[in-house]
Chain A
């Protein structure tokens, strides 16, 4: 049986003593696993993370991190975890000094620290910015520094609370690959994001939170199979489309955008032949046609709404 790094049992958290922002949440994360916690704003993700990282006390339920109860071993746990907060955090110093000071705070030996600084400066493309003061960086650059800084020290478990906000697609992919590489070497990661593609690409398992509860959990494929029974037909045509006529013929979810038609339905196999015949009778030429499986976005929308 794989070693459990995170064990959350019936966690309930409240700020005012009346409403529960986290309400009966339970999940486990195994060693080396990347676990995605998804949910819209206010779903309870950050409160759950703050509890697991010992910032907030456990009100009801049980939370064990690396085999230790968070209520009893907060400091021991903090020595073995890394946390990239959702909000920006940095010292008023250059990029390089931020990394050096952070390494010193974690008591990283000098030679190791030197090598790690060079590594993260390269991976996170911060080399040309090493002498720039953190407060002068752009939002995306600050985020890169914040994520890079956490890889300066050793850890068994990493919490990443929306770490790619503001990053360009190339850097985002590079960061995700770096995290995946670390997980393959045994690092356990708890990852929250609003970007479903990221969760799909990175996470071994995903939990979707809504109003303080976990409403769906599983691998990306499991979730798509369970909740993603909708498919989308994309048709690119040349010729004028009469939206009203199309809508009356296909009362499903029809979207017309210039010369592109999109129909979302459970029964694409039935609709597709009818659509082709319809377009032919209207003398509309089909340029391209495709059918797409539902994405994690569709699953999320369905589960959360």
Chain B
């Protein structure tokens, strides 16, 4: 007998795997990689990373991989919103599940979307830039970071979808957060001594920075002690957000 949370995960996958969702999951990061990565190459021919000279598109690749948990999380939040709007939330709560199973069902499907999307991004990145992650262990570490990050972002968007009433507001808030977190992180540019202090503070208050940094180090096989700190920050934030989401979700009106 399949555990209830996995049955709900399967249901979420079946119901939500449509072309629109996949386009959002894959299309947007691919667009960043293709348009920004290749177009900016004319302006930024090379970036020095870990003493090596790499192309800007290669520098950007970890950024788009690390975006996957964020995008998958926003899809997870919209699942709760949609279930509440179309009556399935109440229907599932009178079904053979614990309330927490429903929450886990969404988080698990976000993890699947996140890792699946990231693997596709590796492929896109390889096709565009010839970039390869050399060690299997690094790929596994990246997957662990992406899974933990999925808990963080899905929890964040679940909280939003509990309190936001209309899908228009949900989409607007999602896009707003997306731009803030994306552009105030190390996804597009390195955060270093030349970054203005204010922006540096914002960047280090941004969880995406830690995810991008650790994924980038893992992709370039440059693991250091600071990666432990990055991963630690992501784990702590994910745990906090999960607790916050579980508490907020109890207040979700049917």
A residues lining the B interface (CB < 8 Å): 53-55, 75, 78-79, 81, 83, 85, 87-93, 97, 101, 104-107
Contact = CB atoms under 8 A, between A and B. Distances in A.
B239 interface: no
B91 interface: yes
Contacts of B96: 75, 78-79, 105-107
Contacts of B179: none
Most buried by A among B8, B82, B254: B254
Contacts of A75: 96-98
B93 A55 contact: yes
Interface in B62-114: 82, 86-88, 90-98
Most buried by A among B7, B86, B92, B94: B94
Contacts of A93: 14-15
A104 B1 CA distance: 11
Given A78-B94, A78-B96, 12 more contacts: A55-B90, A55-B93, A75-B97, A85-B90, A85-B91, A90-B86, A92-B18, A93-B14, A93-B15, A97-B14, A104-B7, A106-B96
Contacts of A104: 7, 10-11
Interface of B: 1-2, 7-8, 10-11, 14-15, 18, 82, 86-88, 90-98, 254
A81 B97 CA distance: 12
Contact of B86 (A81, A92, A101): A92
A97 B88 CA distance: 14
B94 A53 contact: yes
Contacts of B82: 92
Contacts of A106: 95-96
A89 B87 contact: yes
B8 to A, nearest CB: 7
A105 B88 contact: no
Contacts of B86: 88-92
Contacts of A81: 94
B15 A83 contact: no
B231 to A, nearest CB: 35
A92 B95 CA distance: 18
16 contacts: A75-B97, A78-B97, A79-B96, A88-B86, A89-B86, A89-B87, A90-B87, A97-B14, A101-B11, A104-B11, A105-B7, A105-B8, A105-B96, A107-B1, A107-B2, A107-B96
A230 to B, nearest CB: 40
Q: Which 7 A/B pairs are nearest by Cβ-Cβ distance?
A: A89-B87, A89-B91, A79-B96, A83-B94, A53-B94, A91-B15, A87-B87
Contact of A90 (B10, B88, B254): B88
A186 to B, nearest CB: 20
A55 B11 CA distance: 21
